[in-house]
A and B are shown apart, each in its own frame.
Chain A
């Protein structure tokens, strides 16, 4: 049982909830986010703010919250997550977290929301694969996940859209970074930042993150993972409750 809608340029899949009215509310929320934060729609609140037609104090609290959180995350990542005037990098994860909260509040205990490969899961365990970067019908890692969020940043989907904000160049040696933790917006920002850091810096930075586990796919075919991420590999029987 699932529903898919295409919004913000990606498929959003909600699985595990069969209440149509609740699903309507979830997708209404995503439409509302798209209207407010779209960089493609000329009259979105974000575009009007950026053109100076709208004062920050006149914007919706959600917009101000997202901009503030982008600034916090820029600090936490040493400037490697740099949203500038385009908070799109945080909007996706944050909006999925909020959609999950709608289902949480309605008492749904088992569900998954997958927005273009970034997801929040509840209950489970859900059998989740991380897309193999080269082989389309294969995964590089199979996991069993419960009650967490998983974000991946890489350049194998949308082209080289992530650059090191300090140099303006794409990072070398990394194919993707996946980050797993309680909050999808934060996990996504961390994954984006680590990807922009390049191999060496990302390696050290990810190993020291508290509360967020990670997996790095390197261009030479190696995988690097934190012990906590490794423990979630399918078939280990180490699924946290």
Chain B
């Protein structure tokens, strides 16, 4: 398919010198991403204790020729430290802050796994499942 498209572009370029010039002048696009975890300071939450927030930030740098564009996106927010040292603190947190960590789902591929959880395996679907593949590969 790729070959066919290249051949087509070549053919068009041969027929049209302007198109050929445009094709050769298109600067290369270069994308790099880095992920960084940043934590704020442990901040005093009145007299009850400390709160700390941690963010995972994905930085995407797109370079086209001399143009450079940087975007940053928060992919995960967590609260590793919060007042939880008394039953009263625990109670208030449970009422006030649902302590769920939010992140973007990614598709993770790993042959290192042994067991697959999830509403996946009816007997009908099992043959094609990731769990069946791991069993066959004698990971378990």
Residues of chain A at the chain B interface (Cβ within 8 Å): 1-2, 4, 6, 9-11, 13, 15, 112, 114, 116-119, 121, 126-142, 150-158, 176, 178, 203-204, 206-208, 216-217, 221-227, 230
Contacts and interface: CB of A to CB of B under 8 A. Distances in A.
A226 B113 contact: no
A117 B119 contact: yes
B116 A128 contact: yes
Interface of B: 78-80, 94, 97-110, 112-123, 125-126, 128-133, 135, 140
Contacts of A117: 116-121, 131
Contacts of A216: 100
Contact of A126 (B115, B122, B129, B132): B115
Given A11-B126, A224-B100, A119 B115 contact: yes
A116 B122 contact: yes
Given A6-B126, A116-B120, 15 more contacts: A2-B140, A9-B123, A10-B122, A11-B121, A13-B115, A15-B114, A114-B131, A130-B117, A139-B113, A140-B108, A156-B118, A206-B98, A206-B100, A217-B105, A221-B104
Given A127-B115, A140-B105, A142-B108, A208 B79 contact: no
B115 A129 contact: yes
